[in-house]
């Protein structure tokens, strides 16, 4: 089958014909119907220090946001899944045996394995997924938008933690997850949502997703005025600005992972304003997926607005180029 | 009367005879019975940038942790206070009219005035306090420990926010508030409290206050193992270590105000562990004062253990010298 | 001036000409511009046991939901209020000295005095209000809807406590506050809001306020399916049904005050579903008023839709008759 | 093997020799080392309506609080358990596939099977337990106290939900779980714990477990004075008294399951005090078990103080007689 493969611990990927995978014990085999590109995939493509720290073995089929149809199931346990089901993959493969898993924090498992990073993923014609991280799709949305449920889930988790209802919400960074956060914040009753992003293309997308106002940087009149700040940029230079936006007694949620350390004035930004900072890693398993499906089914979030490009798997290099330009929303690969 | 006065915007203080103050409208006049030295008073003494930013007018009577007897009350409003009452001062003089005050966040008032910093304080024989920040003492404790209720209140607020019951708690920085935090964390049901401080003198005091273990720096076996971390050091170099101590899904409370910016790896310390950071400014007015009185009355916190030195007001320079050495707990001035 | 007066501890009221009141110390005198009738006013009219327990002194000017213009202010303290301001009255006159007031729970003061119940209220041409319970209106809405901010505040407090975003919400009882709760739940991001009320008139109003579905009683398919239940009926017979609607791990908020005791199966309804029940008394002072203004200013709640009737003060008996019929939303009296 | 068997849907039990059970798929077989009697076992013995509603099939080996040694494991999946491990049983056998299990609420599974109630339990020489509800004991406590970890877990979950640190806590009902709640509330930092129970025997045990004060009924001076109320009596007549004990803005936790419906004045007890009622069903899986182990290992709760009686399995009838008298703490059966 055709697959996007990381063949060496170095920049770039290879489009290769590789053998069809088999479902290992307690796994499903799916025929991939769609797979979307995440910012993480850029890091893997470029072989950043993050990629070097997380990818242990090559060759590796990359890609973790996928939707597909179950072709085979290999298990002797009971399961609600069956052949023909249209499923998505939860990227975070928890071990179900560590302390965090045992206290119901599976999404922050102590021994997490990552789909498409620590093991083969889904930029391919077929893929295998552990039963325990396979989500049976129920949302009545186009298949091409289904792989984007995973990043939408990030945004749902962020907004759920932030408790946005009735609040002025600033979203820093309008990549696909930031764009989803704009839509979810509005759906969950935010008073006003303002989006901040350097590039104009994504500011325009934010307006389509429901942002009340967008800016290239935070206007002065919003300094110390936002009850909720969502840090989705992953840019360490932006974090001071984000903290500055927060109102006394406000809440900031960290989601973006900066490449460099951030320099923070704890007294000015945390203590004097008595801020609370929460952090989000992935999505709650499976609570967030249910919430995500609900938002899609009610039409409160329309993922098709941010799926700006579709490419064949063969066109991966072209897709990656556009992805890096920032002149896109979500890019979906159709094998 | 004798008073410790900041006479110039420069290092040092002057012991001066100044006129007896009068209670302005809605103020009480107290005869000071005790006043304790805070870390902030060192900043004021040394004239740090923080002091330069906060002190607008000199001459200024410094000192904000005080206990005294009401000599006079100037008000036409009803009040529960009367002459002869033994009272303490809440340092944070809220305006009662800003948005935060109106939504019940008086302790983080938007226009806070600071007793002994923005207006005359209590290192003197007499002092005036606004009615609305005067606390009538009820705790059955020695008068000499009463001025330390104010910093104990900081520790109570920190532990209340951290929700320590049943948790392993690391306290970074064992100055007087850190020492109080050790005692309060134990009183509020922490599983284990470990104290980290460079100086040995205060590590020994922490043991007296109930710490289970003390260290000059965090032992490796506690990295990623503390459900709760209390950052009381105000040392930007220590903050990375503090964040490293936190367990996945843990909580850190920032209380100490570092002189320099902290350099923080957001991805490693916040997102990958999905940490929550809370911040504490002062004490809740008056909720924390009630909680503080309860802890003292039940004997769960014994402030006399950390009142290590007593001096006359005239001996202020000597007191400050010991304060700066770190070889002390709380130092109380008796006018 | 003309006023609706309770002259005897018995059913009925009298329309009387009484002397113009004067602002006592720390009070304002207002010219009443509008006043709306609350369910409590029916109890007072009918002289129920509740009325007998709460009204100590007659004659009494009744009515507590009012808006008016400040004609006079009597105080020697600083205040942001001035003559000509358009203000509303917070019904709950807290004493500012009890334990609950001191710990920032003014809305559940231990020695609450009630405007229009424990002291003269606002169904009159003029009224006096304590400074500390006078709200300066900022919402850009018609004056005739302004008195209804007070009951809207109840609904805001209820929805705030219930945390409705993304949830299926059942509202039992569609009186004016229930109708407001429907609108607020939608504004704060509820997934679906269903309203339950016996009378058809108010079910139709609920649809206008944004209810997704309305029923005369809970359909079977919603039993154990609502994450949030708002008990606004104040009908003890309905409470079992309300508890039955709640999903496992759900939340019910009690707001309506039943005339009789409720008979509750604690095991079935609370423990087996591990429910949380919260209760709402009034509104948070002043947090809820700010939230209420925001919702009105954003146009998320349109109070004019539930102001179904307007009467002159002289027509009070006619207004009360319609109020009792249940065939109305909010009834506003215009002096 | 010898077992306590419910042979008919009627009062009483039979001591029978029955075949040794075999571990079904994904189960362990244990040699029972100790098993304690729960209040539920009285209901089953007496065949109350509750028992009739929950027990579908007889003959049934009763008993659900057990500790034993693993003799056999039947699974093809990975497991941390091995022969020789000393394990306890979690009573609530969640299905791991329902909505509540999937959103991390396994302890309130929608299709819960109950060990010793819906399937054979542990009052026998041997028993089988599903792998997923088998807890490997780590607490360094006498084996005879280990079966009581399960009810201690109830108390931990109750106190965790109640947030008792610094609060005055009233515990209504001093059966074994109520006694545990007294000890846990003290360990988690309650200011004062008062126990209320009709029988003197258990009031004396409460003192041993750390209660500050005990009463046969709530003294008047505690009405409206307890920030936290733990309803452990399961007596519908006591519930009004419990609600009366709660302070304004207080929290009550319902744990005991009354045989009859409770008659509750919602206005007086809930709304006027703006109470929060939480409910506890079982224990969090496995968070509560970790917390329970911690409390035992630290010596903060000493279960041996409430293990007042030990009997051989053959003496079950005698044990049940004492259990019903209320003149006991926990009764442990040693096969």
C80, C103, C286: residue with CB nearest B287: C103
Mean pLDDT of C10-35: 98
Give the Cβ contact number of residue D220 at 10 Å.
Answer: 9
CB atoms within 10 A of CB A235: 18
- Written as six digits, the tokens of A71 are 């072709």
According to the model, what pLDDT value does residue B93 have? 98
Q: Taking an 8 Å Cβ-Cβ cutoff, which residues of chain C contact chain D?
A: 100, 105, 108, 110, 236, 239, 248-249, 254-255, 257-258, 261-267, 270-281
Q: Which helix (H) or strand (E) holds C99?
A: helix C99-102
**Do residue C103 and residue B77 have CB atoms under 8 angstroms apart?**
no
Per-residue pLDDT tens over the stretch C105-125: 999 999 999 999 999 999 999
Chain D residues with a Cβ under 8 Å from any Cβ in chain B:
159-160, 163-166, 187-189, 191-192, 291, 294-295, 298
D166 contacts on B by Cβ (under 8 Å): 160, 187-188, 291, 294-295
Q: Of the candidates A224, A230, A214, A132, which has an alpha carbon nearest to the alpha carbon of residue A178?
A: A230
> Using 50, 70 and 90 to split pLDDT, how confident is the model at D30?
very high
Which pLDDT belongs to residue B144?
A: 82
Pinpoint the alpha helices (H) of chain B.
39-46, 49-54, 99-102, 143-146, 149-162, 176-187, 200-208, 236-245, 287-297, 316-325
pTM above 0.90, yes or no: yes
pLDDT tier at D24, thresholds 50, 70, 90:
very high
Q: Which residue of D has its CA nearest to A135?
A: D102
Whether residue C138 is predicted with pLDDT greater than 90 in this model: the reply is: no
D191 contact residues in B (CB cutoff 8 A) = 294, 298
Question: pLDDT of B125-157, one tens digit each?
Answer: 999 999 999 999 988 888 988 999 999 999 999
Q: Rounded to an integer, what distance in angstroms lies between the CA atom of residue D311 and that of residue D313?
A: 6
In chain D, which residues have their Cβ closer than 8 Å to the Cβ of B188? 165-166, 188-189
CA separation (Å) from D211 to B170, C322, D55, D206?
29, 57, 36, 5
Q: Among B164, B166, B298, select the one facing D291 at the smallest CB separation.
A: B166
The 3-state DSSP class for residue D130 equals: strand
The confidence band for A180, taking pLDDT boundaries of 50, 70 and 90, is very high
Q: Determine the Cα–Cα distance for residues A263 and A261; give it in Å rounded to an integer.
A: 7
Distance between CA atoms of residues C300 and D157, nearest Å: 40
Q: Measured between alpha carbons, how far is C198 from C220 in angstroms, rounded to an integer? A: 16
What is chain B's pLDDT, residue by residue, as a tens digit (335 residues)?
999 999 999 999 999 999 999 999 999 999 999 999 999 999 999 999 999 999 999 999 999 999 999 999 999 999 999 999 999 999 999 999 999 999 999 999 999 999 999 999 999 999 999 999 999 998 888 898 899 999 999 999 999 999 999 999 999 999 999 999 999 999 999 999 999 999 999 999 999 999 999 999 999 999 999 999 999 999 999 999 999 999 999 999 999 999 999 999 999 999 999 999 999 999 999 999 999 999 999 999 999 999 999 999 999 999 999 999 999 999 999 99
Query: Residue C79 is encoded by which pair of tokens?
Result: 């205040």
Beta-carbon contacts of D235 under 8 Å, excluding residues fewer than 6 positions away, are D173, D256, D258
Please state, for a pLDDT cut of 90, what percent of chain C lies above it.
97
Q: Taking a C-beta distance cutoff of 8 angstroms, is the pair D127, D20 a contact?
A: no
% of chain D exceeding 90 in pLDDT: 97
In angstroms, the Cα distances linking A219 to A142, A170, A179, A245, A268 are 38, 11, 19, 9, 19
CA torsion sign for A24, A25, A31, A34 is negative
Phi, psi of D80, deg, nearest 5: -85, -5
Top residue of C152, C155, C181, C189 to mutate, by most chain A CBs within 10 Å, is: C189
Strand order in the sheet with A168-172: A213-215, A192-196, A168-172, A226-231, A246-254, A276-279, B276-279, B246-254, B226-231, B168-172, B192-196, B213-215
| Nearest CB neighbour to C166, from listed A191, A192, A294 | A294
For the segment D280-284, the average pLDDT, to the nearest whole number, is 97
Chain A residues in contact with D76 (beta carbon < 8 A): 76
* Interchain pair A276, B281: CB under 8 A: no
Residue A27 pLDDT greater than 90, yes or no:
yes
Residue A11: pLDDT over 90: yes
Nearest to B103 among C80, C97, C287 (CB): C287
Region A268-276 average pLDDT: 97
pLDDT at A140: 87
Q: pLDDT tens across D189-205, in order?
A: 999 999 999 999 999 99
Element (H, E) at A43: helix A39-46
Closest CA to B115 of B64, B41, B149, B66: B64
Per-residue pLDDT, D144: 83
Q: Are C183 and C301 in contact (CB under 8 A)?
A: yes
Chain A, chain B: beta-carbon pairs less than 8 Å apart: 95
Q: How far apart are CA D295 and CA D318, in angstroms?
A: 32
Query: In the predicted model, what is the mean pLDDT of residues A273-289?
Result: 98
Chain D environment of A77 (Cβ under 8 Å): 77
- Which residues in A lie closer than 8 A to residue C160 (C-beta atoms)? 165-166
Closest to D285 (Cα-Cα) out of D139, D123, D88: D88
User: Per-residue pLDDT tens for D34-75?
Assistant: 999 999 999 999 999 999 999 999 999 999 999 999 999 999
Q: List the single residue in D160, D166, D295 with the smallest CB-CB distance to B291.
A: D166
Q: Is C278 helix (H, G, I), strand (E, B) or coil?
A: strand
- Express as a percent the part of chain C with pLDDT over 70: 100
Spell out which chain D residues touch chain C, with contact meaning CB-CB distance below 8 angstroms: 50, 100, 105, 108, 110, 236, 239, 248-249, 254-255, 257-258, 261-267, 270-281
Residues of chain C in contact with residue D249, where contact means CB-CB under 8 angstroms, are: 100, 105, 108
Specify the residue for token string 């007001």.
B313
Please report how many Cα atoms fall inside a 13 Å half-sphere around the Cα of residue C287, on the Cβ side.
20
* Rounded Cα distance, A216 and A193, in Å: 14
Cα distances from C75 to residues A87, A200, B130, C72, in angstroms, run 69, 55, 19, 10
Tell me what the mean pLDDT of segment C297-312 comes to.
95
| Whether pLDDT at A139 is above 90 | no
Q: For residue C158, give every residue at least 6 positions away whose Cβ sits within 8 Å of its Cβ, in sequence order, or none.
A: C177, C181, C184, C230, C232, C253, C255, C280
Tokens found for residue A155: 């945004």
Which domains, and CATH codes, for chain C? 2-148+306-334 (3.90.180.10), 154-279 (3.40.50.720)
What is the model's pLDDT at position D138?
Answer: 87
Q: Taking CB atoms and an 8 Å cutoff, what residues of chain D touch A105? A: 104
Other C-beta atoms lying within 10 Å of the C-beta of residue C99: 15
Contact D187 B187 (CB under 8 A): no
pLDDT tens per residue, range A34-77: 999 999 999 999 999 999 999 999 999 999 999 999 999 999 99
Subunit contact A191:C165, Cβ cutoff 8 A: no
Give the residue among B108, B111, B114 at the shortest CA–CA distance from B92: B114
- DSSP, residue by residue, C111-168: T-EEBTTTB--SSBSEEEEEGGGEEE----S-HHHHTTHHHHHHHHHHHHHHT-TTSE
Residue of A nearest to D107 (CA): A104
Q: Which of A274, A280, A288 to mutate to test the interface with B (most CBs of B within 10 A)?
A: A274
Q: Is the ipTM of this complex over 0.90?
A: yes
Give A144's pLDDT tier (boundaries 50, 70, 90): confident
Given this model, what pLDDT does residue A321 score?
Answer: 97
Looking at chain B, which runs of residues are DSSP E strands?
2-6, 14-17, 27-36, 60-61, 65-74, 86-89, 92-93, 113-114, 126-130, 134-136, 168-172, 192-196, 213-215, 226-231, 246-254, 262-264, 276-279, 307-312, 330-334
Determine whether the interchain pair C108/D276 forms a contact, defined as Cβ–Cβ distance below 8 Å.
no
- Name the band, by pLDDT with cuts 50, 70 and 90, for residue A168: very high
Say whether the peptide bond before residue B188 is cis (omega within 30 degrees of 0): no
Print burial letters for A98-124: b (CB count within 10 Å at least 16), e (below 16).
bebbbbbbbbbbeebebbbbebbbbbb
Specify the pLDDT at position B140: 86
């Amino acid at each position: 089958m055709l697959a996007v493969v990381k063949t060496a611990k170095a920049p770039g990927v290879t489009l290769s014909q590789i053998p069809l995978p088999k479902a290992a014990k307690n796994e499903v085999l799916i025929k991939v119907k769609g797979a979307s590109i995440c910012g993480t995939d850029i890091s893997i493509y470029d072989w950043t220090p993050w990629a070097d720290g997380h990818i242990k073995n090559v060759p590796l089929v990359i890609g973790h946001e996928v939707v597909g149809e179950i072709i085979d199931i290999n298990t002797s346990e009971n399961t609600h899944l069956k052949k023909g089901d249209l499923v998505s993959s939860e990227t975070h493969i928890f071990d179900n045996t560590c302390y965090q898993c045992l206290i119901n924090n599976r999404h922050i498992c102590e021994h997490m394995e990552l789909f498409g990073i620590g093991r083969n993923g889904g930029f391919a014609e077929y893929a295998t997924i552990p039963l325990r991280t396979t989500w049976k799709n129920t949302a009545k949305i186009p298949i091409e938008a289904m792989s984007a449920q995973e990043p939408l889930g990030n945004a749902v988790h962020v907004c759920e933690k932030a408790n946005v209802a009735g609040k002025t919400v600033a979203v820093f960074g309008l990549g696909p997850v930031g764009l989803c956060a704009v839509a979810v914040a509005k759906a969950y009753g935010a008073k006003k949502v303002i989006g901040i992003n350097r590039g104009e293309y994504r500011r325009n997308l934010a307006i389509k997703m429901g942002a009340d106002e967008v800016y290239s940087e935070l206007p002065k009149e919003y300094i110390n005025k936002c009850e909720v700040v969502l840090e989705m940029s992953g840019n360490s230079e932006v974090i001071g600005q984000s903290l500055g936006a927060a109102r006394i007694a406000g809440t900031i949620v960290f989601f973006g992972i900066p490449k460099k350390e951030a320099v923070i004035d704890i007294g000015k930004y945390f203590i004097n304003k008595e801020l609370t900072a929460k952090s989000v890693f992935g999505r709650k398993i499976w609570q967030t997926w249910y919430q995500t499906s609900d938002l899609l089914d009610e039409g409160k979030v329309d993922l098709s607005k941010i799926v700006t490009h579709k490419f064949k798997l063969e066109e991966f290099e072209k897709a990656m180029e556009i992805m890096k330009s920032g002149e896109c929303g979500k890019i979906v690969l159709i094998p």
